[in-house]
């Protein structure tokens, strides 16, 4: 169970947490649905997301995403990136059954990489690139996603055969926080009519909602094999471990974890770094 003793409100009103979180990990996912990459610092780009995050995305002939939600074979694809920080110069792509192939980043969209990727998923695909804002999962809350290390560790413990590293790969968060108890990040959202104002390293954010999870966390990140009973176990344990500072009208179901955010345009171009401190403010009306 999470330790709620130091953060419990006394009168039912919102309270900023007494504990201070720091950024332990920053992670971007250069090709949507493929492997991520840890960085020490990263710039916030045009839509409030992180530079290099979901910069590339796969599409089928109908213009639909080829991602882990729709295509199980995507989980077999492995990616290793070359470059400095969020800048990707090249990527090595492979599967468990194929040798790695190296492709320069500027050749991914129009080149042999597209043919190779199509062979792996079994039908023609295209790759698109958007360095300005990428292809976020939630276009209404396109800022980086946030979770705590303690949450990842706790949720991994709900399942046999899934360790912390494996759960981290399944959940695919951008910002991982340390120094706080499990589910501390649930302080960063309020109800459907309010966002929570907070800063990371002085950069302003708004916490929007607890992320509604799809089928991806239930699948092995390397094979795509389904973990039996993942969703039902998750919902049961999430309900039982819901902290006093969480819950509320977002939880029409408990298959929610991680926080979706926005970053105001005034902060685009600023940077986040590992070690930055999180300062939590108050809820503000959605339209303010």
Q: Where are the domains of the chain?
A: 21-51+137-285
4-25: pLDDT as tens digits: 444 444 334 555 676 899 999 9
- DSSP conformational letter for 137: S
Task: Give the model's pLDDT for residue 14.
Answer: 58
Task: Give the model's pLDDT for residue 1.
Answer: 45
Mean pLDDT of 144-171: 98
Question: What is the Cα–Cα distance from 31 to 20, expressed in whole angstroms?
Answer: 32
Question: What is the Cα–Cα distance from 236 to 155, expressed in whole angstroms?
Answer: 12
Encoding tokens for residue 181?
């108890």
12-64: pLDDT as tens digits: 455 567 689 999 999 999 999 999 999 999 999 999 999 999 999 999 999 99
Question: What is the Cα–Cα distance from 93 to 166, expressed in whole angstroms?
Answer: 20
- Ranges assigned E (strand) in the chain: 21-28, 37-39, 41-43, 56-59, 78-82, 90-95, 98-104, 126-129, 146-148, 175-178, 194-200, 203-212, 256-262, 271-273, 277-285
Taking a C-beta distance cutoff of 8 angstroms, is the pair 196, 190 a contact? yes
> Can you name the residues that pair with 207 across neighbouring β-strands?
196, 261
Encoding tokens for residue 142?
């396109």
CA atoms lying within 13 Å on the CB side of residue 35:
17
| Least confident window among 27-31, 127-131, 207-211 | 127-131
State the pTM of this model: 0.92
Other beta carbons less than 10 A from residue 144's beta carbon: 26
Q: Which pLDDT band, with edges at 50, 70 and 90, does 287 fall under? A: confident
Question: What is the Cα–Cα distance from 20 to 103, expressed in whole angstroms?
Answer: 42
> Which whole-number Å values give the CA distances from 170 to 41, 68, 165, 220, 230, in the listed order?
23, 10, 9, 8, 12
Share of the chain above pLDDT 90, in %: 85
Question: What is the Cα–Cα distance from 30 to 102, expressed in whole angstroms?
Answer: 15
Please check the confidence at residue 113 and state whether its pLDDT lies above 80.
yes
What is the CATH number assigned to the segment(s) 21-51+137-285?
Answer: 2.40.33
């Amino acid at each position: 169970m999470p330790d709620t003793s130091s953060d419990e409100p006394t009168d039912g009103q919102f309270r900023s947490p007494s504990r201070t979180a720091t950024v332990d990990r920053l992670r971007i996912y250069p090709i949507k649905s493929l492997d991520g990459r840890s960085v020490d610092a990263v710039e916030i780009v045009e839509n409030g997301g992180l530079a290099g995050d979901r910069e590339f995305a796969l599409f089928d002939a109908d213009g639909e995403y080829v991602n882990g939600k729709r295509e199980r074979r995507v989980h077999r694809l492995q990616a290793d990136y070359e470059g400095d920080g969020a800048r990707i110069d090249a990527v090595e792509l492979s599967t468990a059954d194929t040798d790695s192939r190296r492709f320069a980043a500027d050749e991914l969209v129009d080149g042999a990489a597209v043919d190779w990727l199509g062979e792996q998923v079994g039908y023609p695909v295209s790759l698109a690139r958007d360095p300005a804002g990428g292809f976020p999962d939630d276009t209404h809350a396109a800022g980086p996603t946030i979770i705590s290390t303690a949450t990842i560790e706790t949720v991994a413990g709900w399942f046999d055969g899934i360790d912390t590293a494996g759960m981290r790969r399944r959940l695919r968060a951008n910002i991982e926080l340390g120094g706080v108890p499990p589910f501390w990040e649930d302080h960063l959202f309020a109800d459907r009519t309010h966002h929570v104002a907070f800063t990371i390293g002085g950069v302003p954010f708004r916490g929007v909602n607890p992320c509604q999870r799809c089928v991806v966390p239930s699948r092995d990140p390397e094979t795509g094999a389904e973990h039996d009973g993942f969703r039902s176990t998750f919902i049961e344990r999430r309900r039982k471990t819901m902290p006093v500072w969480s819950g509320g009208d977002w939880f029409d179901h408990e298959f929610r974890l991680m926080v979706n955010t926005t970053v105001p345009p005034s902060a685009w171009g600023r940077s986040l770094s590992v070690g930055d401190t999180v300062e939590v403010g108050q809820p503000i009306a959605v339209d303010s």
